[in-house]
Amino acid sequence: MVTSRSSVLTAVPTEAATALTVPATGADTSISIFMASSTTSTSPALTDWPTEHSTLKMLPGMGLFTAVSPAAGAAAYSEYAAVGAADAAGQGKRSTVTEYKTTPDGKTRWIDRVTVYDVEGRIIEQREYSDYGRRLAWRAVNDYEQGRLVRQVVYNDRGKASKGRKYEYDDSGRLYRRYNYSPNGILNSYRQYEYSAQD
């Protein structure tokens, strides 16, 4: 926590005294402004130099979680976005979640990823950006059948298909295999999933 004290005259910007209080390693701070609005911050291990940390926000009336990481190069966490999209889906709305990267001082931010959800909360499109949000790096489009993801096509920065994936499920509805195809439809590999119960 940083505590600042203004100078005697405040009409013109001048230097101000600042005292630094260092929180315990791993300390959490939670602030609730009013119902359904909260902010949670986690302290990094060392706080005497700028470093990555994250802030989880839930905005009033929206039920939408966003993650803001003010450290350079720290990406927003899409799992928070997924929770928010699922909540929005419960309201029967299609939603778009935009994730930003932000400089440590919080003055500059740029688009990192955009995720589009259908009215049932399923991811139907993802777009990843590079070059400080100025250029689309890739785009993935998902197709569903009977509520399950069955196909995904990934497009490169020029809009051409770069790979395709097909998903197969076992009799109990769990993902069994993901097939990876080249743009010309040739099977490159597949990933197989095995499940085991643990005590």
Let me know: does 96 contact 113? Beta carbons within 8 Å. Answer: no
Q: In angstroms, rounded to a whole number, what is the distance separating the alpha carbons of residues 78 and 68?
A: 11
Long-range contacts of 94-102 (CB under 8 A, 24+ apart): 94/118, 94/119, 95/64, 97/64, 97/66, 99/66, 99/67, 99/75, 100/68, 100/76, 101/69, 101/72, 101/73, 101/74, 101/75, 101/76, 101/133, 102/68, 102/69, 102/70, 102/71, 102/74
Task: Indicate whether 61 pLDDT > 80.
Answer: no
Q: In angstroms, rounded to a whole number, what is the distance separating the alpha carbons of residues 101 and 67?
A: 10
Q: What is the pLDDT of residue 89?
A: 57
Percentage of the chain with pLDDT > 90?
48
Q: What is the pLDDT of residue 28?
A: 47
Domains of the chain in sequence order: 27-133 (no CATH), 138-199 (2.40.128.720)
Q: What pLDDT digit, counting tens, does each position of 127-181 carry?
A: 999 988 999 999 999 999 999 999 999 999 999 999 999 999 999 999 999 999 9
Q: What pLDDT digit, counting tens, does each position of 84-134 carry?
A: 555 555 667 899 999 999 999 999 999 999 999 999 999 999 999 998 899
Q: What is the pLDDT of residue 85?
A: 56
Which amino acid would we find at residue 123?
A: I
Task: Indicate whether 55 pLDDT > 80.
Answer: no
pTM: 0.54
Q: Is 162 left (phi over 0), alpha (psi -120 to 50) or beta?
A: alpha
